[in-house]
Amino acid sequence: NKQAQEIEPRMIEWRRFLHQNPELSNREFKTGKYLADFLKNLGMEVQYPVAKTGAVGILRGGKPGPVIALRADIDGLPVVERNALPFASREKGVQGGIETGVMHACGHDSHMAMLMAVAEILSKNKADVKGTIKFLFQPAEEGAPAGEEAGAYLMIKEGVLENPKVDVVFGLHIQSLLPLGQLAYRAEGLMAAVDGFNIKVTGVGAHGATPWDSVDPIVVSSQIVNGLQTIVSRQTELTKAPAVITVGSLHGGVRRNIIPEEVNMEGTIRTFDPAMQKLVHEKIKHTASAIAEASGAKAETDILVMYPVTYNDPALTSLMAPSLAKVSPTVVTQPVTMAEDFSFFQQKVPGFFFFLGAYPEDMKLTRRPVHHTADFMIDERAFVTGVKALLTLTMDYAYQPKSGKK
């Protein structure tokens, strides 16, 4: 606890530097090198680059024990920061061929800074560390650019859970709307699986003055959007498992007086249950096709399976919940419909993921500091709690009976 408090000023400096210098997914070149150099200066065995731009530090403790992985994500988002902070981002990047601002609008800068602090503290106490600690600084949690592999999936593919083989993985996510210092978790499904869908609607173009000459894909697309909303509300048994379908992008046409031939829409599907996931996929394809056909148009649906459910191993959660409670007030949260590719690690080894509250209650905000927005804001006082939580989980797991390895 004392060392976590002592490192706080430097941790905040690290976070502010990283906040000022964000990079987009799979483009975290400077960030990855910064982290790799930091780990090397601690005397760790370092693997870099991993999964294009990530870094892994390996700390071999002074006593035999389990192999524990701690993970932080490192990428920013294509968001223009609106906050008037002295360390606000002014960086630019290219997303989908379009220049955009870049911002750590989901708190990954804080995740890096906290894990850096944990790495330094454990390195200084190496003789007392039981087992091996792997520090996973993971790129591209927010998703790969088109046509690229990325993130936790690619890190696993490149072997970060092997040599030595990881026994357990811990991670956290800062939450700007949770009370400062609160630690929130739940066993089993914590965060949703997320999949993407693309629907191309093809009709017949015409002059805007003679719509009867067309099969209007804009009208058909609007009917499909409405139809998709009835899948969850009218075609699934929500008492069994929740689901969310969102259309986030719809594009068609170039002039007000031209009915186009084609409209494209994109959206996301969020589920917590494999059977529900399969059902929703089928319903989306059927709904789009049937509505289009009824109007004389054609709908082609592609579904991209993305991230699985962030699933906290029940036995591990039961074991580690008392460790969290030693650090700060805890709460068992409801499932969250956002998604996390930490879930890929949990598919391979038991994992425990939790939320750290950092609502900036003293900052007199004029807008809610929501994740993935230009107004995202967190209270840096939460970081010490996050460091203590990761340290406590690591040491308690390592020193539990039967955790040692010969």
Assign 108 to helix, strand or coil.
helix
CB 249 within 8 A of CB 267: yes
**314-327 vs 383-399: helix axis angle to the nearest 10?**
130
Distance of CA 260 to the CA centre of its chain: 36
Q: What angle do CA 71, 72, 74 make, to 5 degrees?
A: 145
Beta-bridge mates of residue 191: 310, 336
In the residue annotation, 380 being an active-site residue is answered as: yes
The answer to whether the CB of 91 falls within 8 A of the CB of 22 is yes
DSSP letter assigned to residue 378: -
The answer, yes or no, to whether the previous bond of 49 is cis (omega within 30 of 0) is: yes
Catalytic residue among 158, 266, 300, 380: 380
Task: Return d(Cα 109, Cα 21) in angstroms, integer.
Answer: 9
The closest alpha carbon to 12, from 114, 89, 104, 136, belongs to: 114
Question: Rounded distance, CA 361 to CA 378, Å?
Answer: 9
Torsion of CA 166, 195, 359, 31, to 10 degrees: 60
CB atoms within 10 A of CB 366: 6
- Of these residues, 34, 307, 359, 397, which one is catalytic? 307
Who's near 183: CB < 8 A, 6+ residues apart? 324, 327, 328, 329, 330, 331, 354, 355, 356, 357, 385, 389
Radius of gyration of the chain from its Cα atoms, rounded to whole angstroms? 23
Token pair belonging to 24: 């987009």
| Ramachandran angles phi, psi of 336, nearest 5° | -110, 135
Q: Which residues of 221-233 are buried (b: 16+ CB within 10 A; e: fewer)?
A: bbbbbebbeebbe
Spatial CA neighbour of 207 closest among 169, 156, 253, 259? 259
Indicate which residues carry an active-site annotation. Answer: 307, 380
